[in-house]
Amino acid sequence: MELIPAVSAEEEENYSVTAEKAFEHANAHIIDFMSSGAPGFENWTGASIDPEPLELYDINGQKLFYEFSTYKHNILVGKIYVGANKTLGPSVQVIETTTNLYNTTEALKKSIEVARNEYPDGEIKSTKMVEYSYPRIGAMTVVKDKTSGDEHRIFVDVYSLEVVPDRPVTETQLGVWSMYEHKVKNRVGGNLIEWNKSDKYTKSIEKEVANKGICISVPVILDNYSNYETSNVYYGYYHYFFGLDSYGNTVIARYGKLPVLKSDEQKENWNSTLGELGNNIKDTVASKYMYPHGEVVTCGTNSKGYFVILFKYGNVSESLINDIYSLIDNSAKQMDIQDIPVEFGYGIYREEIPLDSEQGIYHWFGDSTANLSESDIHVLEEYMKEKPTIPMDKTVVAYGKIPLLKDQNEIMTWADKLSAISGSTQDKITPYMEKGQVIVYGAELTRLDVGINETLPSEEKNAIVKEIYQIIDEEARKQNVTTVPVIFDEGIFIDELVTEDVKIPLEENNEELSNSNNSNSKSDNGSKPSESSEIRSTPGFGLLGSLICLYGGWKFRKK
């Protein structure tokens, strides 16, 4: 029997769906189903979709489905079948929440054995897993008779391992039929419209969960993400009034009620009100609750509209939180604000505070203050009342999650892990840098940082972000790090070194994260200067010339 393809090779190429694209569709659909509380997925919480699918073909040789398996603690809990061709219609075709195990290896092996026995002089052309009579799955071996040139097909059912006759299926006899031809016949135009709807839906889910640090291009821990927070990898979500800059926050509790803010003007006015509230309570918080006298380290707000109090990890009790909320609430009521919304959380800190920068005397945050003089304590108090300055950047997307790091040892251990991941992926990122697509790549204190050339077209930029995060995520999983935190920023190349109104981060090695004394000097506007915490496994990797940190992004000199 001669096999006739259902579509031309050109059409197949134009309408084919890659395994990577199919995986994104599978991830997005399941994430949305679970977040919307769809029934049948209760056992999928905590599971992950394997990105390596089984490819299922039609009996005519056309690639039909990608079969993605979902595992929880290494136990199969379900499967998702995604169309391998856009002409099949909606991308996600079937979802199985209860599955039966089968052995593809045995089925493939037997189909080859039968083919060789029946056609000993024949040439094995191909062996594939197929949907031979939907929903039946089996192995199909195509063997070519060397004498006549005819091709013959051998089918073996994957469950029973019985040979299936190559004949049309009827109500009374087992056989085979082409699902592809059945689904595509006279419906190509409509099916393409349906696939495009699926793709649009997938992209909307991708955009929605990206704000929560979820990348649908890599395996994720399946859960109801509807109540998840904005990723703590994105520092720009927070704006601090006074205290130290945090390198990743973990929410403890929220009090009060958010106001309804519909217009940009309302949001701007609300932020101004919170800033005024911060000034009103600053002295009391600093003298009673703030480091070095207490557990509070940072005061500010977030993009959602909460007033924010951040603690260092440690002796934070419910009574302490209640006391601080009462202070804030009472002050807010004097401004005619009821039920002031306040978010309490833990911050991550690594900062060297200048006690006397001219004499080169500094104090690491978190070190004991027992031996400090009264004047030194006063310097700390005043320093904590200042506004931290953070270099502005143009964030493309922030993926992953920064874990709660409880002390300096955990911070440094985590930084070492990120540095190791950065070093292990260096060779795979280098080609992007050589093409000018990536400007800088390295490990910061609590996250990895990838600088994307902002002059690239948006489509190319988005594709590069996905590719690079897949590279980093794959390596991170080898080192037992899931949801690896990566920030993607934008920057540009320049040929001339800009020297006005810039801050130049210092190069650091893996053993030393602290900055030089000069990097801690106070800025002219009274704000604390930000610190560069960039770590690179190879000094200078990711820098095509001199790195300059500007308030609009990055600029570099080409080699």
Q: pLDDT value at position 215?
A: 96
pLDDT of residue 428: 97
268 and 126 share a domain? no
Write down the pLDDT at residue 528: 62
Does residue 487 lie within any of the structural domains?
Answer: yes
Token pair of 76 as six digits: 């199969």
Residue 119 lies in a domain: yes
Element (H, E) at 432: helix 408-434
Least confident interval from 101-105, 211-215, 280-284, 411-415: 101-105
Q: What is the pTM of this model?
A: 0.82
> What is the tens place of the pLDDT at every residue in 146-175?
888 899 999 999 999 999 999 999 888 899
112 and 250 both lie in a single domain? no
Within-domain flag for 324: yes
DSSP annotation of 244: P
* Same domain for 447 and 425: yes
What's the pLDDT at 527?
55
Local confidence band at 553 (pLDDT 50, 70, 90 cut-offs): very low
Distance CA 68, CA 19 (A): 10
Percent of the chain scoring above 90 in pLDDT? 76
Residue 237 reports pLDDT greater than 60: yes
Residues 378 and 402 in one domain: no
Which of 342, 365, 384 delimits the end of a domain?
384
- Domain contains 114: yes
| Domain ranges, residue 257 | 229-384
pLDDT band at 13 (very low <50, low <70, confident <90, very high): low
What's the total number of domains in the chain?
3
Asked if residue 389 belongs to a domain, the reply is: no
270 and 354 in a single domain? The answer is yes
Q: How would you write 443-467 as a 3-class SS string?
A: ECCCCEEEEEECCCCHHHHHHHHHH
Same domain, 208 and 238: no
Question: Looking at the structure, do residues 155 and 37 belong to the same domain, yes or no?
Answer: yes
Query: Which pLDDT score, from 0 to 100, does residue 297 have?
Result: 97
352: CB partners within 8 A, 6+ apart? 362, 363, 364, 365, 514, 515, 520, 531
- 219-245: average pLDDT: 93
Beta bridge partners of 397: 488
Summarize pLDDT for 314-351 with one digit per residue, the tens.
889 999 999 999 999 999 999 999 999 999 999 999 99
Do residue 179 and residue 60 come from a single domain? Answer: yes
User: What are the DSSP calls for 453-520, one per residue?
Assistant: ETTS-HHHHHHHHHHHHHHHHHHHHHTT--S--EEEEEEEEESS---SS-B-PPP--SS--PPPGGGG
| CA 464 and chain centroid, separation | 14
Q: Give percent of the chain with pLDDT exceeding 70.
A: 85
Residue that terminates a domain, selected from 384, 415, 442: 384
Please give the pLDDT value at position 186: 80
Mark which of 222, 244, 266 sits at the end of a domain. Answer: 222
**Residue keyed to tokens 């604000």:** 337
Confidence of residue 300 (pLDDT cuts 50, 70, 90): very high
State the pLDDT at residue 178: 95
pLDDT tens string 175-225: 999 999 998 988 899 999 999 999 999 999 999 999 999 999 999 999 999
Assess if residue 453 is contained within a domain: yes
The three-state secondary structure class of 296 is strand
186/366 Cα distance (integer angstroms): 71
**Domain shared by 110 and 187, yes or no:** yes
Residues 258 and 348 in one domain: yes
252 and 356, same domain (yes or no): yes
CA neighbor of 35 nearest in space, from 166, 194, 228, 192 = 228
Confidence grade of residue 226 (pLDDT, cut at 50, 70, 90): confident
- CA atoms of 128 and 130, how far apart (whole Å): 6
- Report which DSSP code applies to 419: H
Residues 341 and 288 in one domain: yes
Identify whether the C-beta of residue 518 lies closer than 8 Å to the C-beta of residue 427: no
Alpha-carbon gap, residue 527 to 2, rounded angstroms: 78
Mean pLDDT along residues 107-116: 96
Q: Read off the pLDDT of residues 20-66 as tens digits, 9 standing for 90 and up.
A: 999 999 999 999 999 999 999 999 999 999 999 999 999 999 999 99
